[in-house]
Structure 1
Amino acid sequence: MDPLELKSAIREWALELGFTDLRVCDTDLSAYEAGFLRWLEAGNQGSMSYMDRHGLLRFRPDELVPGTRRVLMVSRDYLPPESTGPSEVLRDPGKGYVSRYALGRDYHKVVRKNLQHLARRISEETGPFTYRAFCDSAPVYETGLAERSGLGWKGKHSLVLNRSGGSWFFLGTLFVDIELPVDKPVSAHCGSCTACIDVCPTGAIIEDGVVDARRCISYLTIEADEDIPEELRPLMGNRIYGCDDCQLVCPWNRFARVTGEADFHARHGLDAPDLLDLFGWDERTFLSRTEGSAIRRIGWRRWRRNLAVAIGNLPSDHPQVGQAVSMLEGALGEAGEQVDRHIRWALRRLRRP
């Protein structure tokens, strides 16, 4: 099989495994290095120290995995079918909003597993070869590789956009030492639209394609282990794990596809959960309900911290305020001083005249 035929066959095998698309690029990401260094110098990474630690390695695939010649980039749709739409949940302050990517099984494991299957299928045709599979799991600049491969373009919200699928998809990466024809990048199609920038609750998108993580709700609820800044808490509303506002408003997402992958369907009612029900989970319940989920990685204490903020954002005339105050008071001392600080903030908010 010549390289062009092999590439075509690999794409077909990827589609059979449930991937939405597969494209190929080389390893040259040098054009992204200067922008990343400026982003770091501005402190936009917050407390994500691994960003500094790995430095420019994320732009040098052939240094991360010596011998890498090509990168296979795959996408996989994840938008789940839901009885309650995300916008409806955001409008109900008594519900908790969980980013749609985290409603089902942990995507890191699902995507990497299927990339391993793809690599084994390739080896049946080519014989043994060197490869390594990634899915948001190493210092790999997936956005740049997706752009280089033609899988999509970097939107103003910094996520990869595709004309036929919007942005509701995961990216997966397979480094290989096989020479394959590369695909051409696609041009950006955001034009003058600034919907994602305008809608961001905390103003985290500070310029086209640049996000200040320190203001981003996804960072604050998932990555940050420090206290959530008090000035940002009221802006978070009922978002308890991640934030999808920039995707929900993006015009390209009218073309997004609902996933057929059962692993990405919502579990335990987390597509529209009651805030007080979630706050009632003890650590054992949290670990049980989030088994196999990306949510588990933040731990019960951060989960409670996030919930305390969302509960503190209940309107003063909400029918659950009385019950919320009682639950928060009873939870003091259960999950550590950091959570207590957020609970006390929430109580001050709920008791205000």
Structure 2
Amino acid sequence: MTGTPVSLEDTLKAAALRLGFDAAGLARADEAWEAGARLAEFVAQGRHGEMRWMEDTLARRSAPTAMWPEARAALVVAMNYGPDHNPLDTLAERETGNISVYARGRDYHDLIKSRLKQLAGEVAQLTGAEVKVFVDTAPLMEKPLAQKAGLGWQGKHTNLVSRELGSWFFLGVVLTSASLAPDAPEPDHCGSCRACLDICPTNAFPAPYQLDARRCISYLTIEHAGPIPREFRAAMGNRIYGCDDCLAACPWNKFAASASEAALFARAELKTPGLDELAALDDAAFREVFSGSPVKRSGRDRFVRNVAVAIGNSGSARLTASLLPLLDDPSALVRGAAVWALARLDPARFAGEKAQRRASEHDSTVIEEWDLGA
């Protein structure tokens, strides 16, 4: 007797697992879907903030075939980056900086794209069809595709959730011109739970399954170029790059495992870095410390701006000394953040004219933009 023949689709998904991905599924890439309309509404409401690239590529993002008309199927893969601790615990360590879990290790884009290229080569060899690979820097809506491929569902926080991996995984996509049988979509398992919505420190979710990026700490600390809006500064706490609160609160994480890919393990120096050490980074030192890290994409000035805000939220008089050199920083963005933080830590000493005048010598708009107070 012979065994059950292995289908082409199963062979492709097995190849993904062999290459180190933790899950794989197939979806149609050439059928209509609602995600494009939801994205257009998101942009029309201005909820994308300063991310102008979303406007510029909106038409291409509307569907996979809008970007590549020959696309017929999508092989969607997931790679687990689960932490070995609860990231919410580090929010209480006020003299250290809280960096989002995904950014504590090596830049995942390089790792995943390399594996995707290997996978795409096998897809091309087995199907004889054209292939293209995508990570999240491409104008492709990978989360709706992943739900269609059965890898998980978009939760009320708009991120993908998996019954096996929880919230902690990266996505990659191989589009192909081959016609492949799709997997069943994953239904929504959120039920009445709203843990991710209730934990958000800035109320960034106008309603379940809706996000206003302009209120999101991940957006504010990474994408936003100017001073942190006053209403969100205290809520940032010690979050200096990204925010994991809504992911960490998800009950499905009880089934998640820690990352097995060594490149995604958190670097020891990025688990709980001292805010005073980070505040001292000039551009060259910033590039050295965060070489090969996603953090580098924010740039030194935005990052030190975030660090100064976190110091202002620390309540630690010891950290006051680390802010004083920033009053003479070449960046007006950094100088303004330092003035706000100093006034918050010691208003009797630093809310007067001296600190304001010193920081605004290079740019008279610094104080006006940052304002003072809580």
Matched AA of 1:124: Q
Q: What amino acid sits opposite 1:251 in the alignment?
A: P
Structure 1 contact 268–289 (Cα < 8 Å) conserved:
no
Identity %: 40
* Displacement of 1:11: 0.9
Residues 4 and 181 of structure 1 are in contact (CA less than 8 Å); yes or no, is this contact kept in structure 2?
no
1:332 aligns with 2:327: yes
The within-5 A match list for 1:52-71 is 52-71=55-74
Determine whether 1:341 maps to 2:336.
yes
Equivalence for 1:36:
39
Q: Which has the larger radius of gyration?
A: 2
Report the Cα distance in structure 1 between the residues aligned to 2:167 and 2:274, rounded to whole angstroms.
27
2:160 aligned residue: 160
- Distance in 1, matches of 2:32 and 2:269, equals 41
Q: Do 2:36 and 2:63's aligned partners in 1 also have CA atoms closer than 8 Å?
A: no
What's the counterpart of residue 101 of structure 2? 100
Give 1:187 deviation, angstroms.
1.1
Partners of 2:36 and 2:170 lie apart in 1 by 23
2:193 aligned with 1:193: yes
Q: Distance in 2 between matches of 1:286 and 1:44?
A: 30
Shift, 1:29, TM fit: 4.6
Equivalent AA in structure 1 for residue 27 of structure 2: C
Which residue of the partner structure matches residue 259 of structure 2?
259
1:123 corresponds to 2:124: yes
Larger RCO (alpha carbons 8 Å, 6+ apart): 1
SS in 1 for 2:171: strand
Q: What amino acid is the match of 1:61?
A: P
Which residue does 1:301 correspond to in 2? 301
Return structure 1 stretches of 4+ with deviation > 6 angstroms.
none
Q: Contact 2:23 / 2:77 at 8 angstroms: preserved in 1? A: yes
Give the match's secondary structure for 2:314: coil
Shift of 1:42: 1.5
Tell me how far apart the structure 2 counterparts of residues 172 and 347 of structure 1 sit (CA, whole Å): 43
Residue 355 of structure 2 corresponds to which residue in structure 1?
none
Match of 1:215 in 2: 215
Structure 2, unpaired ranges of 5+: 349-374
1:103–1:271 CA contact under 8 A, matched in 2: yes
TM-score by length of structure 2 reads: 0.88
In the alignment, the residues of structure 1 paired with residue 102 and residue 282 of structure 2 have an alpha-carbon distance, to the nearest angstrom, of: 24
Q: Quote the Cα distance in structure 2 between the aligned partners of 1:113 and 1:88.
A: 33
User: More displaced, 160-169 or 27-36?
Assistant: 27-36
User: Contact between 1:23 and 1:72, CA under 8 Å: does it hold in 2?
Assistant: yes
Alignment correspondent of 1:81: 84
- Shift, 1:60, TM fit: 1.9
Q: Distance in 2 between matches of 1:257 and 1:335?
A: 44
Q: CA RMSD in A?
A: 1.5
CA distance in 2, matches of 1:39, 1:301: 29
Q: Distance in 2 between matches of 1:164 and 1:212?
A: 28
In 1, are the aligned partners of 2:124 and 2:131 still within 8 Å (CA)?
no
